[in-house]
């Protein structure tokens, strides 16, 4: 995933994302490749979404939504609320945007974007954890205390190459991916 847009769509969050941004160079007239931003300020579009986490399953299509040109940053925007009902937290998506009705605009793809509502890093950073040094050394995060339920784990390595398990907590130089315990 390179440079994805990360969306927080939780309705109770004050930092909820309202817009998704689209480079104006992607929005062109099909017949002659003229930028649509030089012709109109709004377009009615259909947004078809695929979920990358479920083997490219088509999630659905949001029909007849307004895409608006923003001249300052030279981008088009779409209200996230127009298609947020199709999205699932902690999933990656791609989309195809096509003009609703008469097809003057060339259909284009919306590059990979992700939904992250609770800020996973903020969650696991506040959990109690312990480093377990053994044959497969790991960090284990717990729900409330060290005697609680393990919720996440990550293998820990030494020597900075990620294939020799750490033999001492002070020798950890590399952590593997955080996974559910």
Last residue of one domain, picked from the residues 88, 115, 142: 115
**Cβ(109)–Cβ(95) under 8 Å?**
yes
DSSP tag of 176? -
Structure tokens at 94: 């791609």
Phi, psi of 126 (to 5 degrees): -95, -5
Same domain for 90 and 124? Answer: no
Residue 73: which domain range?
Answer: 5-115
pLDDT band of residue 132 (cuts 50, 70, 90) is very high
Checking if the pLDDT of 82 tops 70, the result is: yes
Strand partners, 142: 150
Nearest to 7 by CA among 133, 93, 73, 67: 93
Strand partners, 60: 49
CA distance 141 to 85: 32
The CA radius of gyration of the chain, in Å to the nearest whole number, is 22
pLDDT band of residue 7 (cuts 50, 70, 90) is confident
pLDDT band of residue 141 (cuts 50, 70, 90) is confident
Q: Measuring CA to CA, how many Å separate 154 from each of 100, 124, 140, 176?
A: 46, 12, 7, 5
Same domain for 100 and 132? Answer: no
Same domain for 33 and 97? Answer: yes
Same domain for 60 and 145? Answer: no
Checking if the pLDDT of 1 tops 70, the result is: no
Nearest to 66 by CA among 36, 96, 44, 95: 44
Look up the CATH number of the domain holding residue 24: 2.60.40
Same domain for 55 and 96? Answer: yes
CA distance 64 to 92: 23
Phi, psi of 52 (to 5 degrees): -70, -20
Percent over 90 (pLDDT), the chain: 49
Q: What is the pLDDT of residue 152?
A: 86
Same domain for 29 and 101? Answer: yes
What is the tally of structural domains in the chain? 2
């Amino acid at each position: 995933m390179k440079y994805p847009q990360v969306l927080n769509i939780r309705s109770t969050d004050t930092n909820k994302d309202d817009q998704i941004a689209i480079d104006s160079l992607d929005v062109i007239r099909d017949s002659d490749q003229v930028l649509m931003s030089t012709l109109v300020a709004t377009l009615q579009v259909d947004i078809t979404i695929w979920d990358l986490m479920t083997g490219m399953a088509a999630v659905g299509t949001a029909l007849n939504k307004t895409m608006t040109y923003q001249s300052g940053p030279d981008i088009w925007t779409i209200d996230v609320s127009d298609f947020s009902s199709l999205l699932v937290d902690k999933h990656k998506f791609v989309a195809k945007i096509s003009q609703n009705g008469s097809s003057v605009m060339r259909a284009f793809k919306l590059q990979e974007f992700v939904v992250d509502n609770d800020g996973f890093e903020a969650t696991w950073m506040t959990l109690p954890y312990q480093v377990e040094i053994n044959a497969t050394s790991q960090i284990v995060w717990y729900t409330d205390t060290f005697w609680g339920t393990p919720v996440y784990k990550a293998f820990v390595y030494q020597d900075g190459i990620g294939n020799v398990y750490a033999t001492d907590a002070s020798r950890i130089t590399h952590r593997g991916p955080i996974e559910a315990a």
